[in-house]
Amino acid sequence: MFDFALSILSSVALAPLQPAPSAARIPAGAFLMGCVPADRRCEPTELPRRKITLSRTFWLARTETTVGQYRRFVAQTNYRTEADKRGQGRFWRFDLNEWDWINGLSWRAPFASNEPAPDNWPAVQVSWGDANAYCHWAGGRLPTEAEWERAARGGREGQIHIWGSASTPEVSGVKYANGPDIATAKEFPTFATFKNYNDGYTRIAPVASFAPNRYGLYDMAGNAYEWTADWIVDGPYPTGPATDPRGLPNGEIKAVRGAGWGYPPEQLRVSFRGIAGLDFWTATFGFRCAWDANPQPLTKGS
């Protein structure tokens, strides 16, 4: 599954150019990674806070990968996601109080088999392998966890959220995130939500519906959890400074960052670390790609 993208180069003929992905330049440099001292909701997995140096500039997609972008990938490569193979995706069952398999759910229809997703939604119901395959096809890769947090912070040290330290994702009338809010609570009454915030979306929102951070990145908090490249353990960070850190050589869980539309408000903090296995996909998990150079227009065989 994970080598699928490599086979595309030799198995698919070239086609007309597709538009280049819109990506933001993330400068090399040092930053403090982990939970900030002012945050009273630090989890053990977000500590210790330590100095991280990224020695190389990289580029990160300004938005989460969209349904339209993923549709082109599938059309040009005949790739089948894990949800396609199984014929099922996951959604939250209130009667069971757990994630459950639902027939017909996939990136095409993440909530109900008869409700197709519009092209400007983030592609969700994708596994880590599905995300990894797309990014390789697009000439890039998934970001490391350190790259993701560096980008999310937008050059601002000491902030709890991408929008600052305000308790809700709205600052001076500007909204920054599709998170669990008043609209979400109407359909999902048992979800923990922001009590005084209404972003207008019960579930997923079109990408770039909210204000970007200082690097011009949208939805780095909320909308969809985002897969990263890193294998991790469900525990604290290593101690001491590090340069270009990467995850473990192998493992059982990957780091996911940014939280999503249906997760508790505390998970929208920049430092919060989610985890998931390779066999997990749901209507709240998406991704965005990173590149080591400014991405070029895509061909069918990219």
Residue 271 has pLDDT above 70, yes or no: yes
pLDDT in tens, 102-126: 999 999 999 988 899 999 999 999 9
| 172 Ramachandran zone, left/alpha/beta (phi>0; psi -120 to 50) | left
Q: Hey, what CATH topology would domain 4-291 get?
A: paralog of FGE (formylglycine-generating enzyme) (3.90.1580)
> Cα–Cα distance between 198 and 46 in angstroms, integer?
28
pTM for this one?
A: 0.90
* pLDDT(298) > 80: no
Amino acid at 204: I
Q: What is the pLDDT of residues 208-242, one digit of tens each?
A: 999 999 999 999 999 999 999 999 999 999 999 99
* Domain spans of the chain, in order of start: 4-291
**Per-residue DSSP letter, 203:** S
Q: What angle do CA 284, 271, 37 make, to 5 degrees?
A: 150
